[in-house]
């Protein structure tokens, strides 16, 4: 038995392409225009300029309404833009956030046709029963509850929407055309539309391949196999295809169904804690995370007691990963934050892909320095008392007001964290997000007991390398001065007039010689200050080995200064 899904005719394709191009051209132009105005103003030091929020909201409301009518990729594009704090300010992002809950389901006739086309047999031979009403509808597919004819097990059947490949190709071509038009006529250095397209395209093609989703689910199953607080449903290998996926049915309570959780007498604070801990394990330890944590994808199952709930994750189409190289750069950002080194943070952000080639690093460094100044001296205890929403707001404002571009993985991470903050606060207003995050962050940054030795070795190696340079600095300076005094090297100062004395000697050059004649002692003095400061700072962080190395280096430079006399 072979049942084919009807294709979209040429006229319908043209009409849809015209509507999509018109929608995208206006939406992306307004997004670009408002962000350009804000970024350019802040590069000039004017931090009072704000985007026209009302115009942005009007455009995005119109986009959302049309996207729901067009369906499929336009809904997914709206959801993708709702993760991009580099493209839209916070209030505008909120307009698109509800798209996940507004997706209309396809008729059940399509579901039957798609299943029979994939398995080449009648639906009744595969499922003894399948619910005609969908349990959940997403932009690219929908889920129905069913019972396997072979085993009698209750399962969830995920089926792609009709003509998904054709629609995705058409709409991606329209999006690429609109981006080409915008890039042809305006300067887009501060907003990477081409990168946005590539990331969106890759994400979509990964999500419409249910074979990939099944592999993701199995990987999560392996990750949490020893964790009794988290449950990952089983995948039925026999029924995996590119367009249909059969997975274990989960009976549970949605994460945001507070009334049902209370009726079941489940400890909501423990639910929030276990959910957030599961995500921090994914972020900081596994480096592989569930990138779509809206409440419809997280269920709560009853455990051995109301205080021992089990958190079940669903829908593994959108995932993110954090590589070792990314972790190293993230550590640099953290170290730059605690040492108030904006330059170090900018370098790490550039390595992670947040800063494009045309960006102004000086302006970005200045903006980051302002944020560092705002949080300077704030202790962990004080951070625990701060509202996480306020911190997130500062980060969003920084991303939007500067020429940052968020790589897809970090867009997913930001979206996941933002969703978790809202969900955990709704579950338990007393839940302390930072308190739970702190141990994972310390471990990730190498500040816990298990990673302290590795961290100290890295710091010591870096200090040794820097120490070699510092120890050779006085000798190099003295060699330079000797060459200047002997006439082997000429120093030219272009910003000063060439005034000559009675003996025909350049007085500027003489001034340099006078100022640098004690260069060896000056270099040793600055080396002493740097080593002493570094030693005190590292010992305060309980990094004793590198700290004492710096203090010892300070002692050697002090001795060198005395001997120079």
Residues carrying an active site annotation: 292
Helix (H) or strand (E) holding 159: strand 154-160
Tokens of 411: 């867009």
- β-strands 127-130, 230-231: how paired? unpaired
8/481 Cα distance (integer angstroms): 80
* HEC letters along 539-551: HHCCCHHHHHHHH
- Report the alpha-carbon distance of residue 422 to residue 413 in Å, rounded: 14
Q: Measuring CA to CA, which residue among 87, 98, 20, 31 is closest to residue 59? A: 31
CA dihedral 79, 85, 87, 88 (to 10 degrees): 80
32 vs 181: CA distance, rounded Å: 13
Residue found by looking up tokens 């804000």 in the block: 38
- Supply the DSSP symbol for 161: P
**Under 8 Å between Cβ of 400 and 86:** yes
Cβ contact 179:197 at 8 Å: yes
SS3 per-residue string spanning 244-304 = EEEEECCCCEECCCHHHHHHCCCCHHHHHHHHHHHHHHHHHHHCEEECCCCHHHEEEECCC
Q: What is the 3-state secondary structure (H, E, C) of 114-146?
A: HHHHHHCCCHHHHEEEECCCCCEECCCEEEEEE
What are the backbone dihedrals phi and psi of residue 290, each rounded to the nearest 5 degrees, phi first? -70, 120
Cα dihedral 100, 326, 334, 316, rounded to 10, equals 30
Contact in structure between 167 and 139 (CB atoms under 8 Å): no
Could you count the other beta carbons within 10 Å of the beta carbon of residue 541? 13
d(CA 348, CA 405): 14
- Whole-Å CA distances, 549 to 259, 341, 466, 534, 542: 59, 22, 12, 9, 13
Angle between helices 408-427 and 433-444 (to 10 degrees): 140
The CA distance from 441 to 51, in Å, is: 34
Name the nearest CA neighbour of 198 among 217, 215, 211, 179: 179
Q: Kind and range of the H or E element at 236?
A: none
Angstrom distance (rounded) from CA 197 to CA 175: 8
In the numeric block, which tokens belong to residue 536?
A: 């005190």
Handedness of CA 438, 439, 444, 450 (dihedral sign): positive
Which residues, including other chains, have CB under 8 Å from residue 182's CB and lie 6 or more apart?
A: 25, 28, 29, 32, 188, 193
């Amino acid at each position: 038995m072979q049942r084919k899904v009807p294709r979209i005719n040429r006229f319908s394709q043209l009409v849809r392409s015209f509507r999509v191009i018109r929608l995208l051209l206006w939406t992306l132009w307004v997004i670009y225009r408002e962000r350009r105005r804000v970024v350019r103003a802040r590069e000039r030091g004017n931090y009072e300029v704000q985007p026209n929020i009302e115009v942005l909201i009007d455009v995005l409301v119109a986009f959302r309404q049309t996207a729901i009518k067009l369906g499929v990729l336009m809904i997914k594009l709206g959801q993708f833009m709702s993760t991009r704090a580099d493209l839209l300010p916070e209030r505008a992002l909120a307009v698109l956030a509800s798209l996940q809950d507004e997706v209309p389901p396809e008729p059940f006739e399509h579901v039957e046709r798609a299943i029979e086309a994939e398995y080449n047999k009648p639906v009744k031979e595969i499922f003894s029963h399948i619910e005609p009403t969908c349990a959940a509808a997403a932009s690219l597919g929908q889920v129905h509850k069913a019972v396997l004819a072979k085993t009698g097990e209750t399962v969830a059947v995920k089926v792609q929407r009709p003509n998904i490949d054709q629609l995705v190709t058409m709409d991606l071509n329209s999006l690429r055309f609109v981006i080409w038009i915008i890039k042809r006529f305006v300067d887009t250095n501060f907003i990477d539309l081409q990168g946005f397209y590539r990331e969106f395209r890759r994400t979509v093609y990964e999500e419409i391949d249910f074979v990939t989703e099944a592999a993701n689910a199995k990987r999560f199953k392996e990750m949490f196999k020893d964790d009794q607080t988290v449950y990952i449903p089983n995948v039925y290998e026999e029924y995996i295809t590119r367009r249909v996926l059969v997975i274990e049915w989960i009976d549970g309570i949605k994460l945001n169904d507070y009334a049902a959780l209370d009726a079941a007498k489940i400890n909501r604070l423990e639910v929030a804690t276990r959910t957030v801990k599961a995500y921090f394990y994914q972020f900081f330890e596994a480096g592989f995370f569930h990138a779509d944590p809206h409440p419809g994808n997280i269920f709560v199952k009853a455990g051995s007691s109301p205080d021992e709930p089990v958190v079940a994750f669903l829908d593994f189409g959108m995932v993110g990963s954090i590589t070792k190289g990314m972790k190293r750069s993230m550590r640099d950002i953290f170290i730059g934050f605690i040492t108030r080194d904006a330059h170090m943070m900018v370098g790490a952000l550039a390595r992670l892909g947040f800063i494009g080639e045309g960006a102004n690093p000086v302006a970005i460094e200045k903006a980051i320095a302002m944020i560092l100044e705002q949080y300077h001296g704030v202790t962990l205890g004080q951070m625990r008392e701060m509202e996480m929403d306020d911190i997130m707001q500062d980060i969003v404002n920084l991303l939007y007001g500067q020429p940052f571009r968020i790589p897809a993985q970090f867009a997913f991470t930001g979206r996941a964290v933002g969703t978790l903050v809202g969900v955990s606060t709704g579950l338990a207003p007393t839940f302390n997000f930072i308190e739970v995050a702190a141990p994972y962050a310390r471990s990730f940054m190498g500040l816990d007991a298990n990673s302290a030795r590795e961290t100290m070795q890295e710091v010591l190696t870096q200090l040794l390398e820097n120490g070699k340079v510092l120890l050779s600095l006085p000798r190099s300076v003295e060699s330079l001065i000797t060459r200047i005094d002997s006439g082997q090297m000429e120093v030219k100062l272009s910003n000063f007039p060439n005034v000559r004395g009675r003996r025909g000697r350049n007085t500027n050059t003489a001034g340099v010689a006078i100022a640098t004649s004690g260069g060896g002692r000056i270099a040793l003095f600055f080396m002493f200050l740097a080593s002493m400061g570094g030693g005190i700072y590292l010992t305060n962080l309980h990094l004793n080995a590198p700290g004492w190395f710096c203090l010892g280096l300070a002692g050697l430079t002090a001795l060198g200064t005395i001997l120079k006399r």
